[in-house]
Amino acid sequence: MKKTLTLSTLLLALALAGCDKPAPAASSVPVVEEDPLKVQVIVMSGQSNMEGSTYYDNGQGWLRKACEELVEEGHDPIDADIFFDGMPDIQCSYRGYYPYGGGDPAANAHASNTADKMAGKFLNLKVGMGQKDVAMGPEIGLGNVLHTNEIGTEEKPVYLIKSAFSGSSFKIQNGSKKHWKVADDNNGEEGELWTETKQFVHNNLKLIEDAGFHPEIKAWLWHQGESDSDNNEMAGEEQYGVYMRHLLGEFREEFADYAPEEDGDNIAFVDCTIYDGTRITYTGVDTLNATKKAIAEESENNYIINASTKDNEGLGLEIGGDQNLGGCYDRFHYVTKDLFRLGEAYGNILIDNDIIEH
């Protein structure tokens, strides 16, 4: 009698034939599942050169000229139109003001949310997000690096949160509470600039969550110190160094829940040296920059941009000085080309050190 080998019989035979063979070893490497809703967040703080006190146009096309010059000097091609049209792959919420004016300085804040300035509002990154509508900050150069490296998409953007204040300092000016000191540095009383920045960042993280994403703070970018470099004592380790270390520790602790692996120490801190050239002079500038460099050496997650004009390894970033050159609208601020370069320097540190995922 002829036997018919059915599919079920064949499968059973194959299974029995393999019974005497050892099962393949299970992989010892855990499978890490990426959160498809996680988005990368970069926080930006400091004083006016971070807030943005540089013209991008002012009827003279400063930014377009700067981009053309950079390309002529060997920079990759730059599509300047995106800085005016807006980048939907990079969203920015910002708020800043001069904290030492009369009345309530916060009422004059230049902010993305004009109706409720502390609430925050994310907009496509573009020019005009500086100290006023005619100004820009380093977010434009940073945005160019993020955009050209395709870090974000329109559906899943990179989020920038900028809370920076012109003229702000750690020292207390005329008894004002508008300073960056944390409670441990000021008899238990926290400076309002840090209090406001904490709240502003939290408000914006909530906006990101309300959009259906899980925000992760990858880095805190800092540019401040000019107002504290008027003497060597203030600029040194015993004052600026103490205050800055405390503030950095407070930031990492405050936002640990939003840090990579929920560990605040994993939030990168990227600082920048202040101007050290001859167009204006700060008596404690070298002391303060040395303090910044010392802090950068204290953790593998601390970084610093060398902006020096007198160090051969520095970027040579220039300000306008008394001549009001190159797009800065007063003498203490970077010319348009070098402010753009500063933003790119922040972005390159994030890319080159794998701080942001790309």
Backbone angles phi, psi at 302, to 5 degrees: -105, 135
Q: What is the pLDDT, as a whole number, of residue 5?
A: 36
Evaluate if residue 90 carries a pLDDT over 60: yes
Structure tokens at 174: 């005329």
Tell me: domain 36-352, CATH 3.40.50.1110, correct? yes
Element of type H or E holding 214: strand 214-223
pLDDT in tens, 236-264: 999 999 999 999 999 999 999 999 999 99
CA distance 271 to 248: 11
Backbone angles phi, psi at 77, to 5 degrees: -50, 140
> Three-state SS across 83-120?
HHHCEEEEEEEEEECCCCCCCCHHHHCEECCCCCCCCC
pLDDT in tens, 55-81: 999 999 999 999 999 999 999 999 999
Q: Where does the pLDDT of residue 29 fall: very low under 50, low under 70, confident under 90, or very high at 90 and above?
A: low
Q: What is the mean pLDDT of residues 193-221?
A: 98
Q: What value, to the nearest 5°, has the Cα angle with vertex 140 and ends 241 and 41?
A: 65
Share of the chain above pLDDT 90, in %: 80
Share in percent of the chain as helix, strand, coil (round to 5): 35, 15, 45
CA distance 41 to 159: 5
> Strand 214-223 and strand 38-46: pairing?
parallel
Closest CA to 324 of 333, 314, 315, 313: 333
Closest CA to 170 of 274, 245, 243: 243
Inter-residue contact 53 to 131 (CB < 8 Å): yes
Share of the chain above pLDDT 70, in %: 91
Give the single-character DSSP code of 356: S
Backbone angles phi, psi at 198, to 5 degrees: -55, -50
Closest CA to 355 of 216, 199, 227: 216
Q: What is the mean pLDDT of residues 327-344?
A: 93
Q: What is the pLDDT, as a whole number, of residue 173?
A: 84
CA distance 81 to 188: 48
CA distance 16 to 147: 57
Inter-residue contact 231 to 263 (CB < 8 Å): no
Residue 39: C-alpha distances to residues 27, 176, 210, 273 (Å): 29, 37, 13, 29
Domain boundaries, the chain: 36-352
CA distance 87 to 153: 9
Amino acid at 168: S
Q: What is the mean pLDDT of residues 24-35?
A: 56
> Three-state SS across 127-188?
CCCCCCCCEECCHHHHHHHHHHCCCCCCCCCEEEEEEECCCCCCCCCCCCCCCCCCHHHCCC
- The number of beta carbons lying within 10 Å of the beta carbon of residue 275 is 27
Q: What is the mean pLDDT of residues 349-355?
A: 98
pLDDT in tens, 305-321: 999 999 999 999 999 98
